[in-house]
Chains A and B, each alone.
Chain A
């Protein structure tokens, strides 16, 4: 059905299909990019100013709240941003709906798995495990 210019904004988009929350995803990608700008700069500055780049120095740095908390935020934000970004690439290049869903689901599992491993490692460094 087409009413041309006389259609209301709602009337123009009705029947075109679901928006799939694209707006929220778009915004999430940009908000996480702003956070990563700060956290990435923090990581590089920290590495440049650490007295030495060895295991003992890293462990001491990441055991303190000033190291552990920004690193945990960096891990969570980087995995979220990477997942958002790869979803755009998958949605652009994978046209079969089934394959697209499968790939996006695989990426989601990888991101949650990777982030969990990194957070576990940080917990172990900060709260002491076998190390």
Chain B
């Protein structure tokens, strides 16, 4: 239940916030070093970092619960214990992958 709702929420966050930031980032890169300074400043700001880390988590959570939905589309994984275990695994997996990506790279954005 929770994982199913999270799939929609993370999907909406990735679509609106994620794609807006992707467009902003590409436009900033295209604008040259000076134009990029604004984006860079926002990305290094604590709030900007929280947004980027949050979107990374949303990406992994949406990816893993999306794979879960693909498996369920095939008709598999509807037994209660299997279904629940898979749902919990997506939560643990997204958290683990987010930490894996960000822990060594917190100060890497320039």
Contact = CB atoms under 8 A, between A and B. Distances in A.
A117 B25 CA distance: 11
B31 interface: yes
A78 B33 contact: no
Contacts of A86: 11-12, 15
A48 B102 CA distance: 10
Q: For this complex, into which size category does the number of interface residues on chain A fall?
A: 35 or more
A56 B26 CA distance: 12
Contacts, number: 87
Contacts of A79: 19
Interface string B28-43: 1111110110001000
B86 interface: no
Contacts of A114: 19-20, 23
A61 to B, nearest CB: 9
A11 interface: no
Interface string A42-75: 0010001000111110110010000000010001
Interface of B: 8, 11-12, 14-15, 18-20, 22-23, 26-33, 35-36, 40, 56, 59, 63, 66-67, 70, 73, 101, 105, 108-110
Interface of A: 30, 33-34, 36-37, 40, 44, 48, 52-56, 58-59, 62, 71, 75, 78-79, 82-83, 85-86, 89, 114, 117-118, 120-122, 124-125, 129-131
